[in-house]
Amino acid sequence: MVKKAKAQVTYAKMKGIVSYFTALMKDKKLGSSHSIYQQMDFLRPESGLSVDDGAAAICYSDLPRKEPQSQVSVADFDYLKVIGTGSFGKVFLAKYRENGTYYAVKVLQKDIILSRKEERQVMCEHRVLLKTLNHPFLVKLHFSFQTKDRLYLVLDYACGGELFYHLQREWVFGEPRARFYAAQVASALGYLHSLNIVYRDLKPENILLDSTGHVVLTDFGLCKEGVVGRSTTRTFCGTPQYLAPEVLQQKEYDRTVDWWGLGAVLHEMLYGLPPFYNADRLEMLKNIIYQPLVLKPGVSNAARDLLKRLLNRDRTKRLGAKRDLTELQSHSFFSSIQWDELLAKKIPPPFIPSLSGPGDLSNIDPRFTEIPVPQSLGACEEYGATFPGFTYIKENMTSLSAETRGH
């Protein structure tokens, strides 16, 4: 157990602590030897937890009972390169043999998912992707299928790479560029909120660019469905440095965590580091919870005002708490943004990734592409629908975008 906790340890609280620890361990910079358990006292919730997080959980009963026989399978793709890694598996650049279209295929290991009892999280990602097929800045799911050992999500390939990759190379973005990305991310988040989905895991690595330089938000593994209006929830997993203080403290939280996340990402775009940064992870977590926000000069008053409002520790006073996206849209930092034009992708992106073709990997971090592709990936394994409802084929597959077609 973490500490001699005075308050009763409920299932939800224990789960929150384990999730927090798992999230920290996933962070490469924090080795498994770090004695975080001994130092986590300041994260202890102020009150006992009583929310039954099952209330907002995924309900399998509304998924189809009979697994549809997908006409698309593992063997229909050539798996070319690793383009991303995560806790459950890897993302590959793959070519659909039938028509030469490039996709990002997220491959998840069933045993890892089942051993971590995070099945719900994967099904959440799947369901969120199914639910959100029609937003210009959210990644699209084309197919999903499964073998005995793995789950496959076939997504649009965002060949412009991670925003984080570009930010790392350029250190900071100028305000017009940061504004453009922040506005596109904000519209995607507002759209998810309108479907009662909290994204929860906003960080630069999850913000990708397409070939034309528009944002593609990906990775819905940590989304929370069913968070309606101002209702709250308490379970969490995620990268700590972008998490809102109420999440770190396992207090109740709601969709306003995403506006904090946007503030953290905007801060990193403008200053080159996340807010409350400290090289010592634990110090940074303490800073997020207790330290006043210090914004150095060098960015406009409008940008600083927006950051202060988004990074407000009191979620009830945070920008977006009352009218969600609409409140952000009327902030002076975004006064030059024509939101309809933005959604219609009519505003020219501030940066166009240099690409030689649809399968170009030059914007993908070599850290990923250097990882060898396992031979077994495309092998026709025995079919095993141990995740009912997972198999999916996007309707109207004839409308493939020309941009992703390899010929």
Positions touching ligand ADE (CB under 6 A) are 83-84, 91, 104, 139, 155-158, 208, 218
- Nearest residue to 274 via CA among 305, 239, 249: 239
Q: Which of 201, 258, 324, 365 is catalytic?
A: 201
* Residue 404 C-beta: closest distance to ligand ADE, Å: 10
DSSP string, 336-363: T--HHHHHTT-SPPS-----SSTT--TT
- To the nearest 10°, report the CA torsion of 339, 342, 347, 350: 110
Catalytic residue list contains 111:
no
Residue among 293 and 397 whose Cβ is closer to ligand ADE: 397
* Residue 209 C-beta: closest distance to ligand ADE, Å: 9
* Positive or negative: CA dihedral 271, 276, 281, 285: negative
Residue among 161 and 320 whose Cβ is closer to ligand ADE: 161
* Residue 91 C-beta: closest distance to ligand ADE, Å: 4
* Residue 260 C-beta: closest distance to ligand ADE, Å: 23
Residue among 189 and 328 whose Cβ is closer to ligand ADE: 189
Q: What DSSP state is assigned to residue 62?
A: G
Question: b/e for 104-134, b at 16 or more Cβ within 10 A?
Answer: bbbbbebeebeeeebebbbbbbbbbbebbee
Q: Which two tokens stand for residue 153?
A: 């999500």
* Residue 382 C-beta: closest distance to ligand ADE, Å: 27
Residue among 139 and 325 whose Cβ is closer to ligand ADE: 139
Q: Are strands 89-96 and 207-209 parallel, antiparallel or unpaired?
A: unpaired
Question: b/e for 19-54, b at 16 or more Cβ within 10 A?
Answer: bbeebbeeeeeeeeeeebeeebeebebeeebebebe
Residue among 154 and 310 whose Cβ is closer to ligand ADE: 154
Active centre residues (catalytic): 201
